[in-house]
């Protein structure tokens, strides 16, 4: 009977006797898994399969950890830099918005608004990069790389155009400011813009106070301030001793240049970090299993 049973399952007596030997027996809990079943879901780790399906890496070496945390730190610094640029541009827009009326166009405020929106995008993208690095999600890293590349190219083109056309912009400012001088006294917003510019920037006219003689008397806002808001009399007999001598174009240009230098330095620092962010995101993307 035993022989028939052994014959039905494909074993003969000899292997059965050999299997009964203590040196050939295997406890049930350490029986070897057949080769063709080793990749079956029943015999694989559920956590590893789940991690692979979600796009996460179950194991990462020291190099991968270095890239991961470098990307996280770089994006955190980018976020801080974007916040600084946002605050600087917002302060420039609020504190010197009156200059825009003298230019006759939205050139000044338009450039500030572009920087404002760009800084917000940088902050959002850096947050996306931090999440992608921390969670090791491939789709977030890919999205981060694409957006950062687009923002970087936009900033590069804007910087090059601003440098190339800087002289033309200054010449346009001179023409527009001269045209607004003829409207002083007749248009309320132009009058307020000139008065605020000359009082707060301590300047007079476009290139010199003599520019006002073409359109009428020198405005009171050109008179030098003594103390407590009191000003010297300069509207009747203007001289270099009782009014501001610098032209408003020169002062405004210096103001824009100084603010542009601070904002530009912050933007360049952010752009350099964005390059490292793109490199680290590519490396981490390839390291995630």
SS (H, E, C) 184-228: CCCCHHHHHHHHHHHHHCCCCCCCCHHHHHHCCCCCHHHECECCC
The pLDDT of residue 265: 75
pLDDT higher than 50, residue 42: no
Structure tokens at 103: 């230019």
Residue 53: what pLDDT? 41
Q: What is the DSSP letter of 32?
A: P
Query: Could you give the CA distance from residue 144 to residue 102 in angstroms, rounded to a whole number?
Result: 40
Assess contact for 48 and 58: CB atoms under 8 A.
yes
The answer, yes or no, to whether residue 50 has pLDDT greater than 70, is: no
Q: What mean pLDDT comes out for the span 225-237?
A: 69
Which residue in 172, 177, 213, 185 sits closest to 98, CA to CA? 177
Those residues with Cβ within 8 angstroms of residue 226's Cβ, 6 or more apart along the chain or in another chain: 232
Average pLDDT, the chain: 74
CA atoms within 13 A on the CB side of 236: 2
Q: Which of 45-59, 73-87, 167-181 has the lowest mean pLDDT?
A: 45-59
């Amino acid at each position: 009977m035993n022989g028939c049973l052994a014959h039905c399952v494909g074993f003969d007596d000899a292997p059965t006797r050999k299997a009964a030997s203590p040196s050939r027996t295997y406890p049930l809990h350490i029986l070897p898994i057949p080769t063709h079943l080793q990749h079956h879901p029943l015999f694989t780790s559920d956590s590893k399969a789940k991690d692979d399906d979600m796009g996460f890496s179950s194991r990462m070496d020291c190099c991968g950890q270095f890239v991961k945390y470098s990307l996280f730190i770089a994006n955190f610094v980018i976020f801080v830099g974007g916040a600084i640029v946002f605050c600087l541009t917002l302060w420039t827009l609020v504190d010197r918005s009156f200059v825009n009326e003298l230019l006759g166009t939205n050139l000044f405020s338009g450039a500030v608004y572009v920087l404002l929106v760009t800084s917000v995008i940088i902050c959002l993208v850096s947050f996306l990069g931090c999440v992608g690095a921390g969670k090791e999600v491939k789709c977030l890293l890919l999205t981060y790389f694409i957006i950062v590349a687009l923002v970087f190219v936009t900033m590069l083109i804007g910087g090059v155009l601003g440098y190339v056309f800087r002289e033309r912009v200054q010449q346009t400012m001179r023409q527009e400011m001269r045209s607004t001088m003829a409207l002083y006294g007749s248009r309320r917003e132009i009058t307020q813009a000139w008065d605020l510019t000359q009082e707060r920037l301590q300047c007079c006219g476009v290139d010199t106070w003599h520019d006002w003689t073409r359109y009428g008397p020198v405005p009171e806002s050109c008179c030098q301030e003594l103390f407590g808001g009191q000003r010297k009399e300069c509207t009747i007999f203007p001289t270099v001793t009782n009014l501001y001598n610098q032209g408003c174009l020169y002062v405004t240009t210096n103001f824009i240049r100084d603010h542009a230098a601070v904002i530009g330095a912050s933007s360049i620092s952010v752009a350099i970090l964005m390059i490292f962010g793109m490199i680290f995101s590519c490396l981490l993307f390839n390291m995630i299993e």
